[in-house]
Amino acid sequence: MGDAIGQVLPFAVGVAISPVPIIAVILMLVTAHARVNGPAFIVGWIVGLSIIGVIVIGIAGAGGDSSGPPTWLLWLQAVLGVLLLLVAARQFRSRPQDGDVAPTPKWMGAIDSFTPGKALGAGVLLSALNPKNLLLAVGAAATIEQTGASTSDEAIAYLVFALIASIGVATPVVLFFVLGDRAPALLDRMKTWMAQNNAVIMAVLCLVIGVKLIGQALSGLTS
């Protein structure tokens, strides 16, 4: 289990510092329904990550045997690695230049009207269907399966991944409840910093994790 947890830590960090979900939850915390929508978003976020883990580990476990992970899982890792390299290149090219203000997605303008149900749904969508997070979560689940850990250890390792991957979106909510009136100014600075700097950070992380996945896949396919 220790090996599986160690293998997925880079993936968890990559998901945790994803800027779009963090910006979304910060925007929810300045609305009238902040006290409900913030926690609802986190619940949806964890549910989305859990769905990915159950699907990937369940399918991979059903198709594997004692000799090692199934060949398709190794090829999946290789494909995910290549896709992450492409994401890294795209992130680096799209980084804000000096003096530019990083834009936010247009759909965030509707966050003011979100109900708790919509906040929960947004958490699910941004964790499970955001392309970058989806690649990282599937990569984490595939990596856990490749370690050959028992079913219970795989579940614990993925739980650790999901909890660490949730730190980014949970931090603004915790600050909101702990700091009270002092929270908005801090959260606004956090939102601005994430938008301006995360393209480069995510580019580096996706590059490192992409190379890691490709290396794991080649090692398994040639052994």
3 state DSSP class of 150? coil
Q: What is the pLDDT of residue 129?
A: 85
- Mapping DSSP onto H, E and C, the string for 57-102 reads HHHHHHHCECCECCHHHHHHHHHHHHHHHHHHHHHHHCCCCCCCCC
* Assessment of whether the complete model's pTM goes beyond 0.95: no
Mean pLDDT of 9-32: 89
pLDDT the model gives residue 153:
87
pLDDT in tens, 63-96: 555 556 678 888 888 998 899 899 889 888 877 7
Contact 137, 59 (CB under 8 A): no
pLDDT higher than 60, residue 14: yes
CB within 8 Å of 76: residues ≥ 6 apart: 138, 142
- Model confidence at 49, pLDDT cuts 50, 70, 90, reads very high
Q: How many whole angstroms from its chain centre is CA 114? A: 22
Range with top average pLDDT, 47-51, 104-108, 185-189: 47-51
